[in-house]
Amino acid sequence: MFGGRGPDDSANGGNDSTDDHDYRRARERMVDRLAARENFDDATLAAMEAVPRHEFVPPGRRDRAYEDRPLPIGSDQTISAPHMVAAMVDQLDLSPGESVLEIGTGCGYHAAVTAEVVGPENLYSVEYHESLAESARGQLDDLGYGDISIRVGDGHEGWPGFAPYDAAYLTAAPSDFPDAVVEQVRPGGRLLGPLESGGRLGGQRLVFARKRADGSLDREARGRVRFVPMLD
């Protein structure tokens, strides 16, 4: 695995305080629940166990950090539920060294989990809110994921400077995969994200897509989800 601290390390340099032990045990129980719920790849479960989710949660909500639910992080954004982060990492079927574009850094938790699989230097993330980008950058650096690249910008534009990517994923819901993001993924590459459904029932669907040689997408809906909308 890549990244910074392992599951036994703490944000204050590895001191085995009671709080650190409690968080570690809570994280282990979270991973056990994930493993019982779905047949996740071992690399996905190891990444989920390696990343201290409580470090990305506002202090007042850290007692709920390892519950399987989204939590608010400010700027009307949320940290996704652990099972959703695990599912998205798993469904992209990532390998070490693959180049990945993330649209929506948020607090940085999803980026850290992805970086555990592909390596921090291979992850490029775009965040709309400058305050969230700066906070995530600092937190990721403190936790040993400082090689993740983050920029402030409109996620619809992707990040052309490091394209092509092997995979891209969205952590907020647009009506469709942004054209620029699709263009920046290599032929044969994968995309994954929540998309607003225009059907009679509305809502959102998690959609997996593989880019064909002609630039079109072979799509597959992976179930109903609920994410914050992607900002224009």
Give percent of the chain with pLDDT exceeding 90: 84
Quick one: pLDDT at residue 232? 74
Residue type, 175: S
Neighbours of 29 (CB within 10 A): 11
> Could you tell me which of 191, 221, 192 has the C-alpha nearest to residue 205?
221
Asked if pLDDT for residue 171 goes beyond 70, the answer is yes
Residue 80 appears among annotated catalytic residues: yes
Task: Please tell me the distance from the alpha carbon of residue 132 to that of residue 74, in angstroms, as a whole number.
Answer: 8
Quick one: pLDDT at residue 10? 40
Please enumerate in sequence order all residues whose Cβ is within 8 A of that of 125, keeping only pairs 6 or more positions apart, or say none.
Answer: 101, 102, 103, 104, 105, 108, 111, 136, 148, 149, 150, 151
Asked if pLDDT for residue 12 goes beyond 50, the answer is no
The active-site residue, picked from 10, 17, 75, 80, is 80
Edge to edge, the sheet with strand 165-170 lists: 149-152, 123-127, 100-103, 165-170, 185-196, 204-211, 217-225
- Average pLDDT in the chain: 92
Quick one: pLDDT at residue 201? 59
13: pLDDT confidence band, cut at 50, 70 and 90? very low
Q: How many residues does the chain have?
A: 232
74: pLDDT confidence band, cut at 50, 70 and 90? confident
114-138 residue pLDDT tens: 999 999 999 999 999 999 999 999 9
Give percent of the chain with pLDDT exceeding 70: 90
Domains of the chain: 18-225 (3.40.50.150)
